[in-house]
Amino acid sequence: MVSNVQIAGAPKKQLSINPKKFILWLFMVSIVMVFASLTSGFVVRQAEGNWLNYNLPVELLVSTIILVLSSVSVQWAVRAAKNKELNQTRLGLIITLVLGTVFLISQIWVWSILVENQVYFVGNPGGSFLYVLMGVHGFHLISGLIYLLIMLVRAYRVDKASKIQFQLGQSATYWHFLDGLWVYLYVFLLIYH
């Protein structure tokens, strides 16, 4: 007769997470906290008055679409790696890098349009917050591009996509996070500009 009795004090199964994955999630949480404080400050300062009202350039929507497309291409690279298609993985990474770079260039373009519309970094908190939100996000996006570039170099150094699958998944998670963060910021700016 077999009994289903558990022995008291027997070790329970531990939940575990890869340390690199855990560090990435901690890093993303810290970024969320930075942007939560910035957007909260935006709302509080706007309520105090003396706030420059401005229209967001339509080019900001164009840059947002470009970034969303880069999320599609990085996911394509991840899927290709899972399917052991190394050349498709490389192509997906290249497209993502190009789209991410185009996004950054488009953000600089948006800044020039803002200046033409007399929305400056100094002089009024309304403009200052806009430039800071875009700039801090751009800084993090540059870190994501560097991460993706490292993955592309690794993709050209290996002979099997499976050898970079975990790291590629990590970089894609970070990239999707940055894309989602930008979509949040864009919607936030549409509501509160």
Residue 161 lies in a domain: yes
Residue pair 156/90 in contact (Cβ under 8 Å)? The answer is yes
Residue 14 lies in a domain: no
Q: The whole model's pTM is what?
A: 0.88
**18-29 tens-digit pLDDT:** 889 999 999 999
**52-108 tens-digit pLDDT:** 788 899 999 999 999 999 999 999 999 999 999 999 999 999 999 999 999 999 999
Q: How far apart are CA 191 and CA 173, in angstroms?
A: 27
CATH number at residue 73: 1.20.120.80
116 token code pair: 């033409």
**27-39 tens-digit pLDDT:** 999 999 999 999 9
Residue pair 175/96 in contact (Cβ under 8 Å)? The answer is yes
Could you say which DSSP state residue 51 is in? Answer: -
Q: How many distinct structural domains can be found in the chain?
A: 1
Residue 73 lies in a domain: yes
Q: How many alpha carbons fall within 13 Å on the CB side of residue 94?
A: 8
Q: The domain containing residue 150 runs over which residues? A: 36-43+53-192
Residue 4 lies in a domain: no
Q: How far apart are CA 73 and CA 71, in angstroms?
A: 5
- Give φ, ψ of 7 to 5 degrees: -80, 130
Tell the burial category of 185 from Cβ atoms under 10 Å away from its Cβ (0-12, 13-18, 19+).
Answer: buried
The CA-CA-CA angle for residues 95, 98, 103, to 5°, reads: 125
Residue 64 lies in a domain: yes
Residue 5 lies in a domain: no
Residue 141 lies in a domain: yes
The single-letter code of the amino acid at 148 is L
pLDDT value at 1 more than 60: no
